[in-house]
Amino acid sequence: MADAPSHPTASQEPNAHNEDALLALARAVRDSGYRFTTVTPATHARVNARPENAHARSLRDVLGWSRPFRDGLLPAELTDLMAQAGVLDRSAGPDGSLMKAGIRLSSLDDTLFLHAAYPPLAADAVFFGPDTMRFAEAVIAHLEERARARHPTPRRAADIGCGSGAAGIVVAKRLPEAEVVLVDINPAALRAARINARLAGIDNVRPVHSDMLNSVEGSFDLIVSNPPFMVDSGGRAYRHGGGPLGAGLSLRVVEAATERLAPGGSLVLFTGSAIVEGHDGFREEASAICARAGLDVSYREFDPDEYGEELDDPGYAAAERIALVILTATRPTGPR
Rounded CA gap, 260 and 210, in Å?
A: 14
pLDDT digit string (tens) for 139-197?
999 999 999 999 999 999 999 999 999 999 999 999 999 999 999 999 999 999 999 99
- Kindly tell me the burial class for residue 203, based on how many C-beta atoms sit within 10 Å of its own C-beta (0-12, 13-18, 19 or more): exposed
Q: What is the pLDDT of residues 275-297, one digit of tens each?
A: 999 999 999 999 999 999 999 99
pLDDT, average across residues 220-232:
94
What is the dotted CATH code of the domain comprising 130-330? 3.40.50.150
Assign 11 a pLDDT band (cuts: 50, 70, 90).
very low
What is the DSSP pairing of strand 98-101 with strand 88-92? antiparallel
pLDDT at 335: 60
User: What is the pairing mode between strands 296-303 and 321-330?
Assistant: antiparallel
Q: Which of 198-207, 224-233, 259-268, 321-330 has the lowest mean pLDDT?
A: 224-233
Label residue 94 by pLDDT band (50, 70, 90): confident
Write the burial class of residue 225 (CB in 10 Å: 0-12 exposed, 13-18 middle, 19+ buried): buried
Query: What's the confidence (pLDDT) of residue 293?
Result: 97
Q: H-helix or E-strand containing 171?
A: helix 166-174
- Single-letter code of the amino acid located at 191: R
Give the span between the Cα atoms of 249 and 227, in whole angstroms: 6
Per-domain boundaries in the chain: 16-105, 130-330
Is the pLDDT assigned to residue 232 strictly greater than 90?
no
Tell me the average pLDDT of the chain. Answer: 92
Give 10's pLDDT tier (boundaries 50, 70, 90).
very low
